[in-house]
Structure 1
Amino acid sequence: MPRPPAPLPRSLGDAFRVGDGIQAGVSASRLRSRDLVAPFHGVRTRALPPSAPGADAVSVDDPSARDRAVRERTLRSAVAYATVMPASAFFTGRTAAILYGLPLDPGDGLDLGVVAPSRAPRGAGIRGVKIEGHLVRLRTVDGLPLSSPASTWAILGRELSVRELVIVGDAIVRIPRGRSGIPLPDARIGTLAQLAAATDAGPRRGVARLRAALPLIREGSSSPLESSFRLDAEAAGLPRPDLDVEIRDPRGKLLGISEIVYREHGVVVEVEGDHHRTSRAQWDRDLEKYAAYAAAGWEVVRITSTHLRQRRAVDLVRAALARHE
């Protein structure tokens, strides 16, 4: 049976530079052991145990579990690179978006930025970009330097479509609610005013897409599916809905909170991810809520990602609105 590798000094942490390891007395052969990974040149990280779940192994019963897994994987990679990152560099683009918890594919590798005239980082697994100083604001998250949420959104204008920019923008300005349902405006990632300021900061690649996306971004959209439906519905000429609405009965009792509501028509649109089907607890809550909505005179239109992909969602909602004209 193979002998387990010798313990590493605690001072090295989970990610460290090879030079720091050697200085701490770790041998070259130990640095090549199977319990260490070399994610970047000159860096070692402790390998995750085989039991650690990846993003693809997370249960769909928890709709946010996959996003958390992707963020943890990206954070681990960013922390590793930070050990050799130039002092002038910061995480930006898709990497910063993931670390802020925004709905975006992380892409391959890490996005790094520097303020001109510094040279953009290069290397395996690194996408570097040079940015004019007046076009970026920085902040620190989990001990890492990141472009601010608004700056990140504006920098992504060089590669995202208008629709993708709206979806990410919606997530930035969304005002979350606490467990009791009370809005928490101080907990949002950013504001519409900050996105507008980033758009107007000066010429940059993709600024035309930023200007096209900005007026379409709204507070109150809680998922990419809801943002996508709203864009499709408004493009098809449907009325502009209210978002993140408290639905109450005639006596004022709170029945539920719905993200897309056509008040004048008495129609509620529920855009449901797969967890509404696979989670028994969610399914039971949905049945109770929709029964209460119906008793209070609301028609509920339930749509899924399949309806959106097949372009049927707008037709379903249009028909419901017509029934209440």
Structure 2
Amino acid sequence: MPARPQPLPTQLESGPFAVSRDGAHGVSRGRLRASDIARPHRGVAVAQAAFQTLQERAAAALLFVGPNAWVSHSTAVLIAGLPLPRRLETGPIHVAAVPPRAAPRARGIIGHRLNLRDHERDVLHATGLNREWTELRAVAAPRALLTVASELRLPDLIAVVDALRFRTSDTDRTLADSGERGWGNSQSWDDNRLAQEMGRLFAEHTGSRGLVALKSAWKASRLGVRSRPESLLRTALCAARLPEPVVGHTIFGAGWTATPDLAWPQWNVLVEYEGEHHRTSKRQFEHDLERFERYIDEGWRPIRVLRPDLFHNPVPMLYRVADRLRSAGWRPRRHWALRPVPAFLP
């Protein structure tokens, strides 16, 4: 049975570190070849346990590339805690270098070359292994949205913009996760400040790749959207040519209030997305039943939308919503027909 490797110094256990010809921090090169150490890039090592997190992989990439480089694209967006399709959660780390430096090239890194103004350079805060803080040089929030725009379908881009707007809204200040992940400069922004920064981005990057899509996503985004499925549901309803629902409409009952995901107050119809935890949690399931009964008591017509309704086949759900709206009094235009919407990628 092989001997257990000697413990690493505390400062080497939670993040990547540089390795010289003689080792690192008094640890020999032989010890650094043990199975509990990952060597993602030449001259860089990291404890295997820490290397499982995206932020530590990004930190290792920045340590390898060196100064004048920033985490960008989907890597920056994911570390900031904004929602992206599952396919982008794994894979190489995106790193952007500023001219005259060339785009970095290395195993596990997708390199880019970006002209970054001073206000487009920021620090990403995240919690890594054992909830220790990690700070990473990163492309600032608005420019990061532009870099990721070319990687996404429009509904997914709208979901990212919705999430960033929610992150900078007063609504998010009370969430337990607030402040744990995000760009340093935008931590104190409100929605007006974010709108100003987006306007500056649009003015400074005319003709840039992804700008048209990002402008469309910004125009289609709404303040108060609380999750990616809710964003996708709203875009599906609009793409199907149904009336646009209201985000954040509060319903006042006898001794209770509730804010459904989406609502049409003029017809007293609402829809709520119910993820897996609504089904697997007994307490949540019982709460949902009581809430929907209260909706009905107040004269509302609630519709449940489940995961397959978005990620398998949205069309039956869209017809169900259309029928409910019609029965409540909605009258579509002459020759109106529901436009089918394809399923979204998880």
Is 2:9 aligned against 1:17? no
Where 1:261 maps in the other structure, the secondary structure is: strand
1:294 touches 1:300 (CA, 8 Å); kept in 2? Answer: yes
Could you tell me which of 223, 228, 231 is aligned with 1:227?
231
- CA deviation digits over 1:120-150, x for unaligned, max 9? 1110000111112349712112321111221
Paired residues for 1:279-290 under 5 Å: 279-290=281-292
Q: Which residue type is aligned with residue 287 of structure 2?
A: R
State the alpha-carbon separation in 2 of the partners of residues 271 and 82 from structure 1: 39
Where 2:5 maps in the other structure, the secondary structure is: coil
- CA deviation digits over 1:263-310, x for unaligned, max 9? 101011101112111111211111111111111111110011212231
Q: Post-superposition shift, 1:171?
A: 1.0
Shift in CA distance, 134/23, structure 1 to aligned 2, threshold 3 Å: closer
In percent, how many aligned pairs have the same letter? 27
State the alpha-carbon separation in 2 of the partners of residues 126 and 318 from structure 1: 46
Q: Post-superposition shift, 1:312?
A: 2.0
Could you tell me which of 304, 307, 312 is aligned with 2:306?
304
Q: Give the match for residue 323 of structure 1.
A: 327
- CA deviation digits over 1:134-179, x for unaligned, max 9? 4971211232111122111111122222222111111111234466
Q: Give the match for residue 2 of structure 1.
A: 2
1:243 touches 1:261 (CA, 8 Å); kept in 2? Answer: yes
TM-score, normalization by structure 1: 0.83
1:136 touches 1:147 (CA, 8 Å); kept in 2? Answer: no
Over aligned residues, Cα RMSD in angstroms? Answer: 2.8
How many residue pairs match? The answer is 301
Q: Which residue type is aligned with residue 4 of structure 1?
A: R
State the alpha-carbon separation in 2 of the partners of residues 102 and 138 from structure 1: 18
Paired residues for 1:264-283 under 5 Å: 264-283=266-285
State the alpha-carbon separation in 1 of the partners of residues 115 and 38 from structure 2: 35
State the alpha-carbon separation in 2 of the partners of residues 282 and 187 from structure 1: 33
Could you tell me which of 96, 99, 111 is aligned with 2:76?
96
State the alpha-carbon separation in 2 of the partners of residues 21 and 234 from structure 1: 61
TM-score, normalization by structure 2: 0.79
Shift in CA distance, 286/170, structure 1 to aligned 2, threshold 3 Å: same
Could you tell me which of 6, 29, 53 is aligned with 1:73?
53
2:18 touches 2:24 (CA, 8 Å); kept in 1? Answer: no
Q: Give the match for residue 40 of structure 1.
A: 41
Is 2:140 aligned against 1:139? no
Is 2:197 aligned against 1:194? yes
State the alpha-carbon separation in 1 of the partners of residues 100 and 317 from structure 2: 49
2:62 touches 2:95 (CA, 8 Å); kept in 1? Answer: no
State the alpha-carbon separation in 1 of the partners of residues 59 and 226 from structure 2: 29
State the alpha-carbon separation in 1 of the partners of residues 35 and 303 from structure 2: 53
1:135 touches 1:198 (CA, 8 Å); kept in 2? Answer: no
Stretch moving more, 164-173 or 81-90 = 81-90
State the alpha-carbon separation in 2 of the partners of residues 226 and 186 from structure 1: 25
Could you tell me which of 158, 170, 193 is aligned with 2:150?
158
For structure 2, the 5+ residue unaligned runs are 126-134, 180-186, 330-346
For structure 1, the 5+ residue unaligned runs are 53-71
Shift in CA distance, 286/3, structure 1 to aligned 2, threshold 3 Å: same
Stretch moving more, 114-123 or 124-133 = 114-123
State the alpha-carbon separation in 1 of the partners of residues 119 and 151 from structure 2: 17
Q: Which residue type is aligned with residue 296 of structure 1?
A: E
